[in-house]
A and B are shown apart, each in its own frame.
Chain A
Amino acid sequence: MKISLTVNGTKHEADVEPRTLLTYFLREQLGLKGTNVGCDTSSCGACTVLIDGVSVKSCTVLAVQADGSEVTTIEGLAADGQLHPVQQAFHENHALQCGFCTPGFVMASVSLLKENPSPSEEEIRLGLEGNLCRCTGYHNILRAVQAAARAGA
């Protein structure tokens, strides 16, 4: 099927098999490998991207469903090479170790802060419930999101 969508500001026309998940379309057809696949049950959130500014697990969306939408992946977050405030806050708060869940957490956090610019600790924990990390115990991820909120991300 033919689809047309904008990814990280660039317009793409593509021919996709109807069963292609958005994740694999991004990774394999567009070569955007920052979106990681960590599970097969939409549990881990490693593949989180923004569709029209809202966070979505890209493994729960068929590429054809993203037709006509605007997708932002981790590669599209840094403006002019400068890390987005959420990316910067993850760095400064040591909120990543192996880095595999990181793109998903960053995208989910960007979306969370857009909806709620000054979330409480509880709101951050609940807001990021759909993303899993095995390395950090979430402690520094929480600190990073709080720092990004303070920085007005």
Chain B
Amino acid sequence: MSILGNRVLRSEDDRFLRGRGTYVENLELEGAASVTFVRSLMAHARINGIDTSAAEAIPGVRVLTADDVPLPAFGPPPFGLPPAMGRPLVAKDVVRLVGEIVAVVVSDDRASGTDAAELVMVDYDPLPVVVDPEESLRDELLLFPEAGTNVAGRTAPAAHAEDLFDGCEVTVSGTIVSQRMAPCPLEPRSTAAAFEDGRLTLWLSTQTPHQDRDTIAGMLGLEPAQVRVIAPDVGGGFGAKVIFASGLTEEILVGWLARELGRPIRWTETRSESMLSLPHGRAMRLAYTIGGAKDGTILAYKLDVLADCGAYPTLGAILTGFTQLMSSGVYAIPRVEAEGTTVVTNTTQIGAFRGAGRPEAIQAIEAAIDRFADEVGMDPAEVRKLNYVGEFPHKTATGAQYDSGDYAGALELALRSAAYEDLRAEQKRRRDEGGTKQLGIGLSSYVEITNPLGEGELGEVEITPDGGAIVRTGSFSHGQGHETSFAMIVADRLGLPFEKVTVHKGDTDEVASGTGTYGSKSTQIGGTASGEAATTVVEQAKQLVADYLEANPQDVVLDLGLGRFHVAGTPDPSLSWEELASRAEGDGRLAELKASHEFKGAPTFPFGTHVAVVEVDTETGQVELQRMVCVDDAGTIVNPLLAEGQVHGGVGIGVSQALYEQFTFGEDGTPLTGNLTTYAFPSAAELPSWETIEMETPTPANPLGAKGIGESGTIGATPAVYNAVVDALSPFGVKHVDMPANGENVWRAIEEAKA
């Protein structure tokens, strides 16, 4: 019986539970110097001068400024962004955000580096600051005068339709701001570097070792082969640790210093640094108009996005493309027009954060659907049902090619699991009673795109002399559990016990190529590639077995249950993997039991429906999330235990956007939520348990039938909770609540509606 689909416990757990995680900060590196970055305290200023003398008076301390670092500005990454908007590795004349690096302190130990950094005196002349994207869009104050505009990117609609809303009996417009969030992986970044014999070794806390290698090599004028990146255990990423594409400069500087100074170098980010340096997510203002008939049929939808990409455009500056692509969500809307403009501001750069452009699309359309349902006087569930895409494959008006789905099935399952009718009855009872604790029920039906760029991944399988297997994958796990799920896929193909399969990843010298992990693409491309490589190994093994058993290779079969090869119809003689490997090694033929496979997969489209139940105190605005019922369908599931874990964590972040988190800057660009005491990162006390329900509708896009599950929970949860809060307050005439729907914003919405 196949191991796939079983709740296999993780093989990687043991080292974490015993405190033996191999995070970069835990690496022993003899003789390493410590790096401390001096960072700007001003959001926009001219640098008149930097006095390093007091800092350099500390024994063993050396301070480098821009003039000492002869490297070009970094990026922007090659996404068609304005070349004039690159980020200097060390600011020379101007700083454009709080936290920008202005000097680099190298010291023998961390403590003296911290002391020295405080003694570096920077003379600034303040410049006017832009933190509001709408103000930035007016181009009155330019962050990069040589670029001539603050606009970093535009996502143009396919065509402007004059008659978009013609024939619509009802149109509703609204604006929702998907607020800026800090991704907050629990492990801050950490980097170590050593340069020996013309080669640079970098230990990175990253999601993308191979792509970082290529980027960093390019920045340092080295060939990729001269750089080895090792990503050991990584304590979470959530998109923010896609180093090569996120405008992260510290890793480049650490690598450069190791070569320049001829000494190993290490740096570990403090949390307060991380809150400003690691990219933020979201930061989009979404203005929508939805139109249709009074019977609930939706005919047209328009979405206009203004995105803030922070001071230096990177990955975040192109995410409106995903927002546009997914703008009509699960609905078959004949006419859709979506566009986006991205501007720079004097704030932390925006990058990928769990969903990256797709949550924003669903937040807008799901708010719009509820407004439309309200306007035509129908139950929001009915309007959803009426407008779902029903046949697959389906090409949307914005060009997305949805692979497979059962949107109505997911809704029905969610409504039944939540006992929707009973909830509505309880809501009515409370409304009739007129108390101060009102119930809100929110729905969100979502579809998202995973492996959104249609990328490929490498898988390699090698039989070891003892008859076990090593899997090498270009994919990377920073918490997802590849060591378990990829081993399951390969064990299944080889007929080996799961325990005999070991997964190797994250070392660019050992794994020939890789794209890494983002966009929920690991299992569908990396898992598939590993599985296909295993299948090739089986075929090659049959050739070897045929030689040993003096049979025809076509007649050799592998009994997957026993893990033994024999001639079809003749169970004896047979050879186990162990016997085969041992014999092959003796004959110098073990290398024949090794194969690699590159699998390039089309994007896939996970979907689902979430139901949120909230209780709102109408006097204080306090929201209590009581239930979160989540139906998520990511195609065929390799390991339900791990898939559920992904949904749990995703839902936690999605709920938190709806209710708690927001990264804010003051008008002068000073971060107001720059550490974990001021940023509303929820604890277990603020969140309930989740009711997760699985559904499996396989995709034809890969042989596993698997779609991505890493971001779905986040994408589905936020709109459900948002809609629930608005629903609770609808008797007051509230149509919208600013996110996060915390006590203050909810109270404000109630008071404004009353006024």
Contact = CB atoms under 8 A, between A and B. Distances in A.
A75 interface: yes
A106 interface: yes
Most buried by A among B25, B480, B648: B648
A99 B235 contact: yes
B17 A90 contact: yes
B68 interface: no
Contact of A74 (B18, B268, B681): B18
A7 interface: no
A101 B23 CA distance: 12
B153 interface: no
Q: Which of A91, A134, A140 has the most CB of B within 10 A?
A: A134
Interface string B108-121: 00010000000000
B18 A136 contact: no
Nearest to A33: B26
Interface in A32-48: 32-41, 43-44, 46
B329 interface: no
A140 B648 CA distance: 8
A134 B16 contact: no
B14 interface: yes
Contact of A34 (B9, B19, B642): B19
B117 to A, nearest CB: 14
Q: What class of interface size applies to chain B in its complex with A?
A: 35 or more
Nearest to A97: B479
B685 interface: yes
Contacts of A87: 17-18
A83 to B, nearest CB: 6
B675 A75 contact: no
Interface string B643-663: 011001111110100000000
A93 B685 CA distance: 19
A124 B183 CA distance: 25
Most buried by A among B10, B14, B684, B689: B684
Interface in B441-480: 478-480
A58 interface: no
A61 interface: no
A131 interface: yes
Interface stretch (B83-91, B185-193, B420-428, B555-563): B185-193
A126 interface: yes
Contacts of A41: 271-272, 675-677
B18 A34 contact: yes
Contact of A100 (B23, B268, B481, B675): B23
B271 A38 contact: yes
A96 interface: yes
Given A40-B675, A43-B677, A125 B648 contact: no
Contact of A132 (B19, B268, B655, B683): B683
Contacts of B14: 83, 91
A87 B20 CA distance: 13
| Central interface residue in B15, B270, B271, B481, by most chain A CB within 10 Å | B271
Given A36-B187, A137-B649, A138-B684, A75 B479 contact: no
A126 B685 contact: yes
Interface in B225-256: 233-236, 238
A13 interface: no
B641 interface: yes
A78 B18 CA distance: 7
Interface of A: 17, 19, 32-41, 43-44, 46, 73-75, 78, 83, 87, 90-92, 94, 96-103, 106, 121, 124-126, 128-142
Interface of B: 9-10, 12-21, 23, 25-26, 111, 183-188, 233-236, 238, 268, 270-272, 478-481, 641-642, 644-645, 648-653, 655, 675-677, 681, 683-685, 687, 689-690, 713
Given A43-B675, A83-B14, A99-B479, 14 more contacts: A40-B272, A73-B19, A94-B644, A96-B16, A97-B236, A99-B15, A99-B16, A99-B17, A99-B233, A129-B685, A130-B683, A135-B479, A140-B648, A141-B684
